[in-house]
């Protein structure tokens, strides 16, 4: 009986150690992903990104709100290029989603593995989200090319 109890205690201790290692690894991975997402956003903002497309990471148990954001383009409200596009009437105000209105950027929630695909030019934005542009922009774009 004593041997059985000893074996049970050893198994329990081993399981606790394994769980602690797993938890430490999970936290480390989560923090690394948050750091990478934060660095990517800092670089994007410093290089005057217009916004980003949300890319959800598909898994067995995805966050429903993150799945709904997959592929949606979010713009930085303070971007000089976006402000210019607004003033020229190139962008439909009603169809814009702003980064500043999000509760968090991709990769910031606990264990979130979503990413942001940053957009730096109006032509790249047009390829990702043509629905936000007005015919006025399409005409101006056609005159350039």
Range of the domain at 137: 2-144
* Spatial distance between the Cα atoms of 40 and 116, rounded to a whole number of angstroms: 8
| Interval 80-119: pLDDT, tens | 999 999 999 999 888 889 999 999 999 888 888 899 999 9
10 Å Cβ neighbour count for 143? Answer: 6
24/104: higher pLDDT = 104
pTM: 0.80
| Interval 32-90: pLDDT, tens | 889 999 999 999 999 999 999 999 987 777 888 888 999 999 999 999 999 999 999 99
Our count of domains for the chain comes to 1
Number of alpha helices (DSSP H) and beta strands (DSSP E) in the chain: 5, 4
Q: Given a cut of 80, is residue 16 above it in pLDDT?
A: no
- Residue environment code for 48-75, b if the CB has 16+ CB neighbours within 10 A, otherwise e: ebbbbbbbbbeeeeebeebeebeeebbb
* Spatial distance between the Cα atoms of 25 and 5, rounded to a whole number of angstroms: 30
pLDDT of residue 26: 81
């Amino acid at each position: 009986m004593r041997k059985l109890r000893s074996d049970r205690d050893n198994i329990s201790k081993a399981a606790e150690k394994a769980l602690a290692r797993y938890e430490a690894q999970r936290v480390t991975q989560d923090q690394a992903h948050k750091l990478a997402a934060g660095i990517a956003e800092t670089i994007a903002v410093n290089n005057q990104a217009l916004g980003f497309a949300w890319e959800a990471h598909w898994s067995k148990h995805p966050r429903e709100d993150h799945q709904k954001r997959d592929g949606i383009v979010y713009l930085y409200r303070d971007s000089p290029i976006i402000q210019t596009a607004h003033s020229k009437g190139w962008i439909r105000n009603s169809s814009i989603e702003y980064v500043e209105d999000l509760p968090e950027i991709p990769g910031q929630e606990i264990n979130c593995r979503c990413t942001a695909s940053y957009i730096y030019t109006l032509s790249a934005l047009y390829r990702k989200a043509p629905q936000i542009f007005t015919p006025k922009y399409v005409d101006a774009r056609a005159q350039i090319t």
